[in-house]
Amino acid sequence: MELLGIGDILHRPIGTLSGGQQQKVLIARALARAPAIAFLDEPFASLDRESRRLVAEVLRRYVDGQGATVLVVSHDVNPILGYADMVVELLDGRIVRIGER
């Protein structure tokens, strides 16, 4: 919660939060369970540029700290570049590029 900067909104019903705040709450909730593998579908949706960077940093810290794997599916690869160990680009259901960090 602290890493994502959402400690001050935890008392509010989720329906009263902005889309970006809701997204951060859902990511924090997923990581709070300390899964060995986390699958995140469009975790950067509804986030502004700074929040996208913050989420990418938090995910990197989580992977490094927990020895976990996080698989991110996103139409926008830019927020995760520089943080991901590997990026796999698909086009029409086919792998067109695999790049390492």
pTM comes to 0.88
The DSSP secondary structure of the chain, one letter per residue, reads -TTTT-GGGTTS-GGGS-HHHHHHHHHHHHHHT--SEEEEESTTTT--HHHHHHHHHHHHHHHHHHT-EEEEE-S--GGGTTT-SEEEEEETTEEEEEEE-
**What are the structural domains, with CATH classification, of the chain?**
7-100 (3.40.50.300)
pLDDT of res. 97: 92
pLDDT of res. 101: 66
Low-confidence spans in the chain with pLDDT less than 50:
none
Q: Give the separation between CA 11 and CA 1, rounded to whole angstroms.
A: 12
pLDDT of res. 15: 93
